[in-house]
Amino acid sequence: MGWFPEQAGGLNRVYYDCTRYLPQAGVEMHGLVAGSTAVSENSGGQVQAFASHKSPLWQRWSGIRQTMHRVLKEEDYPLVVSHFALYTFPILDQLDSRPMVMHFQGPWALEGHVEGSNTVATRLKWMLERVTYKRIAKFIVLSEAFRNTLHQEYHIPLERIHIIPPGVDTERFDTTITPQEARSKLGWSQERPI
């Protein structure tokens, strides 16, 4: 998972918005992402990068292990929330008995299989997800379909899976603005088609 201003993507956008809106709701949070050294400055120290999102996997895993070790020494967080098994797996042994919650946005291994990944890569992703998911106390999913996938494909008991429908800041997605206003808001040339 990367930092949205540096790396586009749906999951990155969700996480970025959580870092912006949860504090407004009285929720204190600190986060780790794959990104540049500017992440901490851009987030007011709330989020830190553990490695560049362009780094090889072994460097990202090493970076998240080192950063998480330091972060847990600095503060005893009572809860850990994760958004991606790939970056949760390497820190499982550091979390002790802390409860973990995971936002399940879809089956990573199954998505890779559908996209044509080779069988070995798909199997390794599934095993990594399975090991990680065994450690998770509760899951948050957006839909009944994701709940069923977690239960059927990963054998997660239904009582550990909670459906929380997505929310949207409707003012932010106001479609009553003109194309010219949209271009201006996006910083696009007035000649660019929308």
pLDDT tens profile 52-87: 999 999 999 999 999 999 999 999 889 999 989 999
Q: Give the CA angle between residues 55, 108, 126 to the nearest 5°.
A: 100
Torsion sign (Cα): 59, 83, 38, 78:
negative
Q: What's the mean pLDDT in 14-20?
A: 86
Alpha-helical runs (H) found in the chain: 10-21, 38-42, 57-74, 85-88, 108-114, 119-135, 144-154, 179-186
Q: What is the pTM of this model?
A: 0.80
More confident residue, 71 or 194: 71
Q: What is the SS3 assignment for 136?
A: coil
Q: Report the percentage of the chain scoring pLDDT > 70.
A: 96
Asked if residue 130 has pLDDT above 80, the reply is: yes
Asked if residue 168 has pLDDT above 80, the reply is: no
CA distance 60 to 130: 20
Asked if residue 192 has pLDDT above 70, the reply is: no
| Two tokens, residue 17 | 């918005």
Asked if residue 136 has pLDDT above 80, the reply is: yes
Asked if residue 30 has pLDDT above 80, the reply is: yes
Place of tokens 């201006």: 184
Asked if residue 116 has pLDDT above 80, the reply is: no
Asked if residue 100 has pLDDT above 80, the reply is: yes
Asked if residue 134 has pLDDT above 80, the reply is: yes
Asked if residue 173 has pLDDT above 80, the reply is: no
Q: Give the CA angle between residues 69, 75, 76 to the nearest 5°.
A: 90
The pLDDT-based confidence of 106 (bands split at 50, 70, 90) is confident
Average pLDDT, the chain: 89
Residue 182 vs residues 3, 7, 13, 71, 191: alpha-carbon distances, Å: 24, 22, 19, 40, 12
The pLDDT score that the predictor gives to residue 69 is: 96
Asked if residue 163 has pLDDT above 70, the reply is: yes
Pairing of strands 161-163, 138-141: parallel
Residue 14 vs residues 47, 66, 96, 124, 137: alpha-carbon distances, Å: 14, 25, 27, 26, 21
CA distance 50 to 66: 8
